[in-house]
Amino acid sequence: MSAATGVLVLENGLEFPGTLFGAPVSAESIRAAQKAGNRIKDRGYGEVVFNTSLTGYQEILTDPSYYGQIVCMTNPHIGNTGINSEDPESPHPWCGGFVIFEKSELASNWRSEDSLESYMLKHEIPGLHGIDTRALTRQLRTTGVIRGVILPMEERHLAKELLAELPSFEGRDLIGEVTTREPYIWKEFASKHSKTAFEELKATEPKFKVIAMDFGVKWNLLRGLEHFGCAVEVVPANMSAEAILAKKPDGIFLSNGPGDPSAAPYAAETVRRLVGQVPLFGVCMGHQILALAMGAKTYKLKFGHRGGNQPVIDHDTGRVEISSHNHGYAVEADGLPSALEITHISLNDKTVEGLRVKGAKAFSVQYHPEACPGPHDSVILFERFVKLMEG
């Protein structure tokens, strides 16, 4: 157990001291990760963001949408439920660092198989605990998302130099860095890699063949599709529309993912060619890619939406859903192409949360209908996708 003092240094020079935990980190290790050419190269470095979820830190760590980010949890007590083999959203964590106020030394849960610190050490994720996460969150809300590095206290003087060397995230194609390299059948993949608590879902007879474009997909989105009767094949984000249609799908799912959607124009071009061919359902990054494909624009939010307590209203039903979000970009409402219709709006800041393509069986939402670890207000969206395929 490390007791070394560390610090999170932001690009604007502000410092947030704490105690290092998880994987060791140094200026040398951050530079080495960048030069190694590995698939995951941002360790101890990233855009600093905050998440307001009360539970689900394991899902957050393993969500590919957090690639390139250091995540600050606003909930002050983290680690008390441990780590298990049922809840990951991908094979390994993706975030660049994890910042919390209080690290629980005791994991008390009947499903716990490992501690948070051991898990982070195993997967080379550096962290800081004991920092003033409330002050950090207020800073991010005031100034917006900003780059930062986690360093031992004795190396704090290297932060400015290090940040000047490290790449910007603006215009960086993070989708291309996290997407699968080869297509795979979800059920076959899950039987080898993805233990799930919902064993009864495996008995569901598939009625539809769905191709999932992997922009950084969460496993529970694939489980959700499977639960509603879909046999899912996951394909790389750069697969052509012609190759996807050659697989003769009943529907196409556009997944979540990290970064700036406009940095992956190939994905929008593919989706543009798919609209109107078969039913489409987009989530989070998939929502933004569908919007770009139809001629809309996206923009970067000041500090994004990340957490499981975001209120959204569905214009079709008038129903308010408490939803799970993780995104730093949004679709511009002003100048929206006539082919798109807004279906959902955030009640916090009025951002576009849902779209429908007029005259085509295609729709999307900015939030996560699988909502693991919760809430589950939005699971009905899977049913809407299935009805489009039935129709």
Domain locations along the chain: 5-165, 175-390
Q: Please provide the size of the chain in residues.
A: 391
- Is 370 labeled as catalytic in the residue annotation? yes
The pTM of this model reads 0.94
* DSSP-derived secondary structure letter, 167: P
Q: Is 197 a residue whose pLDDT tops 60?
A: no
Catalytic residue among 89, 177, 233, 370: 370
Residue with tokens 């040398």: 28
Is 344 labeled as catalytic in the residue annotation?
no
Q: Residue 284 in 3-state DSSP?
A: coil
Instruction: Give the residue from 154, 103, 121, 118 showing the smallest Cα distance to 43.
Output: 121
| pLDDT at 2 (0 to 100) | 47
Average pLDDT over every residue of 3-21: 96
Architecture of domain 5-165: 3-Layer(bba) Sandwich (3.50)
Query: Taking CA 323 as the corner, what is the angle to CA 290 and CA 374, rounded to the nearest 5 degrees?
Result: 120
- Can you tell me the mean pLDDT for 369-384? 86
Q: Is the pLDDT of residue 207 over 70?
A: yes
Digit-coded pLDDT (tens) for 131-142: 999 999 999 999
Residue found by looking up tokens 């994991």 in the block = 107
Q: Name the catalytic one among 284, 305, 321, 327.
A: 284
Domains 5-165 and 175-390 share a fold: no
Which amino acid is located at 207 in the chain? Answer: K
Q: What pLDDT digit, counting tens, does each position of 229-277 carry?
A: 999 999 999 999 999 999 999 999 999 999 999 999 999 999 999 999 9
Distance CA 210, CA 229 (A): 10
The vertex-72 CA angle with 67 and 74, nearest 5°, equals 140
Across the chain, mean pLDDT equals 93
pLDDT per position as a tens digit, 53-109: 999 999 999 999 999 999 999 999 999 999 999 899 999 999 999 999 999 989 989
Which architecture, in CATH terms, is 175-390? Answer: 3-Layer(aba) Sandwich (3.40)
In angstroms, the Cα distances linking 228 to 69, 104, 225 are: 32, 37, 5
> Of residues 129, 287, 327, 368, which has the active-site annotation?
368
Statement: residue 388 has pLDDT above 50: yes
Told to judge if 368 belongs to the known catalytic residues of this protein, a careful annotator would answer yes
What distance in Å separates the CA atoms of residue 195 and residue 190, rounded to the nearest whole number? 7
Residue 110 pLDDT grade (very low, low, confident, very high; cuts 50, 70, 90)? very high
Read off the DSSP letter of residue 229. T
Task: Evaluate if residue 7 carries a pLDDT over 70.
Answer: yes
Query: Does residue 144 surpass a pLDDT of 70?
Result: yes
